[in-house]
Amino acid sequence: MRKSDNTLLRWLGLAALAALVAALPFIVHPYQLIFLIFLLINIILVVSYRFVTITGEWSLIHVVMMGVGAYTSAILAKDLDLSVWLAMPLGGVAAALIAYVLSFPLFRMKGFYFLIGSFAAGEAIRLTWNQFREPFGGPKGIKLIPSPELTLPGLETIDLTFPPINYYFLTAIIMALCLWIMYRLEKSRIGLTLNAIHWKDVLAESVGVDVWRYRMLAFVTGSFFAGIAGALLAHYIGTINPDRFGLAMMLYVLVWTIVGGTATFAGPIIGVVALSVLDEAFRAFDQFRPAIYGVLLILTVRFLPNGLEALPAKLLGLRDRLTGGPRTAAERPRPASGGE
């Protein structure tokens, strides 16, 4: 297949996906629409987490970075009376700044030590929210967070959180923009360098690549988009507290990412969509949901180490083994010539 054909198929697939996203709020139940809003926010979260893992470093602070964006945007909009439209991107900026500061101690460590160090830093931030009532609200968090509003000429001001379909399309637009930026970054020279650091960090450093700076860049960029996801969450539900950004939520993000796969950009999206739908289907068995997630994680690591994104190739390989495999031109029987 020619490159032009692949490009056409890719654009057709994206157009079909966009049409599906646009049509979904009109065909689902109102409760399911709320579920879809949370799903879109979580897609931003897991894709931004994968951007951090491109360099090979996995952290346990990403959900706390989401919380930094949520708390910053909520405080700016509620206490300082700043416009929600300005507070939301500033939430992402605050998360990026915190990530930049934390890069200096955290990236002195690698592997398991980085994982534990990131968890400790995240817990320090989260316990700060829990300890101080001003301005973080203490254990109860912040309530009555302002909603984004849209004022059109000659029309009344529209609250974008009600009906939920308004916030759904706002979240979908912001999600599409965030994913596009992260995709372009990954396909750029920066993304290629990040992947090189993942596989051969010592070799990359030997040819002049500043490994620390690129790892910091991935961490800051991923944290920025996690902060945007947190701001979207805060202004939709109208209340946040420290428990929402604890280890339990971080483990969900890890499972979504691992089950979906990290080899391609679409892997985490597949993981969060598949597991969120499954999670919703088993909502009646709430006490068994952690066990179900645990079993799925074990099965994925055992049989699909590259995640659900590798499932089509796995199925094709299984078919080839069952049918004896596709024959090459050299293996096909040659017709007998007339002289034999």
Domain ranges of the chain: 28-245, 246-322
Q: With a cut of 90, say whether residue 21 has pLDDT above it.
A: no
Q: What is the pTM of this model?
A: 0.88
Residue 39 has pLDDT above 60, yes or no: yes
pLDDT at 276 > cutoff 50: yes
Q: Quick one: what percent of the chain has pLDDT higher than 90?
A: 44
What burial letters (b/e) apply to 8-18, b meaning 16+ CB within 10 Å? eeeeeeeeeee
Separation of alpha carbons 73 and 238, rounded Å: 11
Angle at 180 between CA 177 and CA 183, to 5 degrees: 150
Q: CA-CA distance, 170 to 6, in Å (whole number)?
A: 30
What's the whole-number mean pLDDT along residues 178-187? 93
Assign 225 a pLDDT band (cuts: 50, 70, 90): very high
What is the rounded distance in angstroms from the CA atom of residue 41 to the CA atom of residue 226? 9
The three-class DSSP label of residue 158 is strand
List phi, psi (to 5°) of 205. Answer: -70, -35
Specify the higher pLDDT residue, 19 or 13: 19
Single-letter residue type at 183:
Y
Beta strands per DSSP E along the chain: 149-151, 157-159
| pLDDT, position 112 | 85
Residue at 271: amino acid letter: G
What pLDDT, in 10s, does the model give residues 293-333? Answer: 778 878 887 888 888 887 777 767 766 677 766 554 444 45
Q: How far is CA 313 from CA 6, 82, 260, 307, 316, in A?
A: 18, 50, 14, 11, 5
Q: What is the dihedral of CA 237, 145, 91, 233, to 10 degrees?
A: 0
Average pLDDT of every residue of the chain: 85
Nearest to 157 by CA among 147, 165, 144: 147
Nearest to 99 by CA among 196, 191, 195, 226: 226
With beta carbons less than 8 A apart as the criterion, state whether 65 and 90 touch.
Answer: no
**DSSP secondary structure code for residue 162 in this structure:** S
> What distance in Å separates the CA atoms of residue 11 and residue 279, rounded to the nearest whole number?
31
